[in-house]
Structure 1
Amino acid sequence: MKDKALVLFRKLYRLKDKIAFYPGLLAISGLVFTYLMIYLEEQGISKYLLDVFPSLVINNTETARSLLTTFISGLISIMVFSFSMVMILLNQASSNFSPRLLPGLISNRRHQIILGVYIATILYCIFILVYIEPESDKYQLPGFAVLFSILFMVSCLAAFIYFIHSISQEIQINNIMDKVFNISKSRMLYLIDNEAYNENDFPETDNWITYKSRSSGYLQNVAAEKLADIAKDKEVKIDIAVIKGLFVSEKNILFTSEKDLDEETLDKIHEQFDFAKSEFIEDNYVLAFKQITEVAVKAMSPGINDPGTALNAIDYLSQLFSLRIKKNDKSLAYIDDLAYVSMATVSFKDLIFQVMAELRTYCKHDVVIVEKLLKMLLHLKRIAAEENKTYLPIIDEEIESLILDAEAAIANKRDIVFIKSVA
């Protein structure tokens, strides 16, 4: 029962990344507040305030109706305009930068909250407008509730001004890359700080029993500590065969075990894997390398021709690789100094090859970009000499490949001499 509750909690936690989560939450809050105000009006709060603080209460039916009608139509126009701009931002980011950036932009929490404030205010005004009775023997004008609609409308105008400022910042590629970098940096620092690995602590897994995936999608998260508890309870070791962040099809090998496992244990183990149809940097730092690399490649395309953006992207990649050098290629989950679960990650060799292969293919003809890449690799080489010397041959291989591609693509001998002098 506890395991099922944890699985349900993880699924609910994923809802926060949906564009409708915060708007829906705020819309429900707006409805609840509306009925609270209606209840207070039924208790005579407006009549009481009219006697005590008459300046706080709107006591004219036509004025109240005109205000609420104007607020509703105005807010709908503002909402349509605001999120037309969001669609323009997403279209520009997709065409000019990279489609991989879209999930991060769509899940912008500030914009979702602003949309929720709009919707909550519209619902509040509609229900208060319906509550107003045209004529009655007893006092029915919800003057105090109408006052709150004015306050909500002022809040919406402030939110709209903030939205214009925010969207003007979001559309700038430097801010987009900086956000991607900071999220990835935080994720890597967390992994480095919590990483535990000793090569001799886990046995070879070549002849272990394989188990296939029951779901398909991107492997977003693995509850390693919970898996370690299950493994300890069953006195078995588990090796996760799939790298987190990669797409897994049903019937692909998901993990291996040194012993045969019963069906109940397998059900518990499969519950510890989270699959999704999209990728987020919060779960997979490798996605940041892909996104920033694609921004650099797109910037160097003939249609955009923006080498300045490519240079900035390489600076961010250099910082990310500097952190990645400090991380091992594998992680182990321990309990009482015993390793029970082994988790594979994208190796440094594969990661830097994937990044450099794209950059070499599309940027090898540009002397300035090649120089920048060489300086990045030399910088990484100095860090690797201090942090992890096993990565030095990998970096040397990438330097050699970059120079070979540049020699084949650049015709000017003086440029080639300059590039070799940098290396």
Structure 2
Amino acid sequence: MYLERSGISDYLVEHAPLLVVNSGDTALTILSACITGLISMMVFSFSMVMVLLNQAASDYSPRLLPGLISDHRHQIILGIYISSILYCIFILFSIQPTGDKYQVPGFSVLLGILLTVISIYAFIYFIHNISETIQITNILEKIFLNAQKRLSFLLEQEKSMPRNFPVSDDWFEYRSKKSGYFQDFSRNDLLLFCKKNKTFLEVLPVKGTFVLKGLPVFRSKEKLSDEAVNGLLSNFHLSRKELVTSNYVLAFKQITEVIVKAMSPGINDPGTALNSIDYLSELIRLRMLKSDESFISDSGQDYVRVRSVTFEELLYQINASLRKYCSDDIVVVQKLAYMFLALKVQVAFDPFYHQVLKKEAEILLTEARTNLRNEADLDTLDILAKKLDLQG
């Protein structure tokens, strides 16, 4: 409107008349067509989103939906649609009759046409992007990259860990005042709190677990005032949803659920299961580099101990789900056995990891023997057992 009052339409009429719509009726028709087309395009686009999200939930896992819904590119495209529609509506109202003619804002109408063209390009990009996003390989890669980033961050923090934390069995326990999934906490604030109050802390719940109101959340070596406890609890992030970016364990759950869903009788997609096992193998390898406990330290002193899911418990939860649905498919069992074999090579000189992997591999092959009856399949299991050093 400011540019129209400055005479930009008159300038265009004088220097580029082909770009300006002089007829009021033509301008009204063009803007009305743009508004109608944009609304139809927006409805179609996000109806497609709902259909694809429903397909992802039924074919892969409902746990994947938060990551798909939060795609910023879809939000930007929706913003382009809505802004173009609102702009065209405002310009439509600004075309006022003056006598027998309309006062046509030529530049504003031209800009509305350009915004409609941009929306069409956004629509084409949306169709391409949504078809790429819904592919299981891209979903798995996104989950893997988020978990890899989180694990790499945690491994970087563990490089120079002093490990001189005191025993906390007789410390003062403090309880949560609300319920929710324990996502994360402010590391710097906890460190400053310990220094200020001259105490040590132990965070009790494992990240990703659901904390009920009234359950213990942390222990303190020194007794704390109610005001200090309330201030410290505000640094704990309890949410009603789970995020891979703050809890890498969720990535293991999501990939495991994709494998289980793919091997269910209703889906029967072993190819997806085999691809998912590859991503799972790499994440397990990274997890083996991380210790079962984390600490927040400063100047060579541990101030806060953070509990996490132990490697043995994590691998058991993964394997328990997989052997239930995959033990009757020799190809998938073979893939899992080679996963254990490759992981054992990674930790050939670590007796703890070696024993945990051997135990889970033995449970898997035992379960497979109870479900497979073909002689060739049983011979394959025997060969796998020998490679994994499970016999003799």
TM bucket normalised to smaller:
over 0.9
CA distance in 2, matches of 1:303, 1:286: 27
Name the SS for the 2:347 alignment partner: helix
Number of residue pairs the alignment of both structures matches: 385
Q: Which residue of 2 aligns with 1:251?
A: 214
* Of 134, 138, 143, the match for 1:171: 134
Q: Residues 198 and 186 from structure 1, CA distance in 2 versus in 1: closer, same or farther, beyond 3 angstroms?
A: closer
5 Å matches for 1:15-414?
Answer: 38-135=1-98, 140-195=103-158, 198=161, 200-385=163-348, 389-414=351-376
Query: Given residue 366 of structure 2, which amino acid in structure 1 is its aligned partner?
Result: L
CA distance in 1, matches of 2:70, 2:167: 41
Cα pair 1:197 1:330 within 8 Å, conserved: no
Cα pair 2:202 2:306 within 8 Å, conserved: yes
User: 1:389: how far off?
Assistant: 4.4
CA distance in 1, matches of 2:128, 2:15: 41
Identity %, equivalent residues: 48
Q: Residues 408 and 128 from structure 1, CA distance in 2 versus in 1: closer, same or farther, beyond 3 angstroms?
A: same
Q: Deviations over 1:139-158 (max 9, x none)?
A: 94221111111111111111
Q: Residues 136 and 244 from structure 1, CA distance in 2 versus in 1: closer, same or farther, beyond 3 angstroms?
A: farther
CA distance in 1, matches of 2:32, 2:158: 58
User: 1:197: how far off?
Assistant: 6.8
CA distance in 1, matches of 2:296, 2:240: 26
CA distance in 1, matches of 2:236, 2:78: 33
User: 1:288: how far off?
Assistant: 1.1
Cα pair 1:197 1:331 within 8 Å, conserved: no
User: 1:198: how far off?
Assistant: 4.6
Q: Deviations over 1:330-359 (max 9, x none)?
A: 111112221111111111111111110000
User: 1:137: how far off?
Assistant: 9.8
Cα pair 2:162 2:301 within 8 Å, conserved: no
User: 1:219: how far off?
Assistant: 1.5
Query: Given residue 360 of structure 2, which amino acid in structure 1 is its aligned partner?
Result: E
User: 1:405: how far off?
Assistant: 0.9
User: 1:105: how far off?
Assistant: 0.6
Name the SS for the 2:297 alignment partner: strand
Cα pair 2:60 2:261 within 8 Å, conserved: yes
User: 1:396: how far off?
Assistant: 1.3
Q: Deviations over 1:94-116 (max 9, x none)?
A: 11110001001101111111111
User: 1:136: how far off?
Assistant: 5.7
Query: Given residue 398 of structure 1, which amino acid in structure 2 is its aligned partner?
Result: E
Q: Which residue of 2 aligns with 1:25?
A: none
CA distance in 2, matches of 1:343, 1:292: 25
Cα pair 2:206 2:309 within 8 Å, conserved: yes
Q: Deviations over 1:48-71 (max 9, x none)?
A: 443344344322211211111111
Cα pair 1:197 1:328 within 8 Å, conserved: no
CA distance in 2, matches of 1:107, 1:198: 35
CA distance in 1, matches of 2:100, 2:226: 71
CA distance in 2, matches of 1:58, 1:99: 51
CA distance in 2, matches of 1:359, 1:270: 37
Name the SS for the 1:201 alignment partner: coil
CA distance in 2, matches of 1:360, 1:197: 38
CA distance in 2, matches of 1:132, 1:226: 57
Q: Deviations over 1:263-283 (max 9, x none)?
A: 222122112111221112111
User: 1:413: how far off?
Assistant: 3.8
Name the SS for the 1:67 alignment partner: helix
Q: Which residue of 1 aligns with 2:389?
A: none
CA distance in 1, matches of 2:104, 2:185: 57
CA distance in 2, matches of 1:346, 1:43: 66
User: 1:371: how far off?
Assistant: 1.0
Query: Given residue 3 of structure 2, which amino acid in structure 1 is its aligned partner?
Result: L
CA distance in 1, matches of 2:126, 2:233: 42
Q: Residues 389 and 120 from structure 1, CA distance in 2 versus in 1: closer, same or farther, beyond 3 angstroms?
A: farther
**Stretch deviating more after TM superposition (91-100 or 277-286):** 277-286
Cα pair 2:180 2:240 within 8 Å, conserved: yes
CA distance in 2, matches of 1:138, 1:43: 21
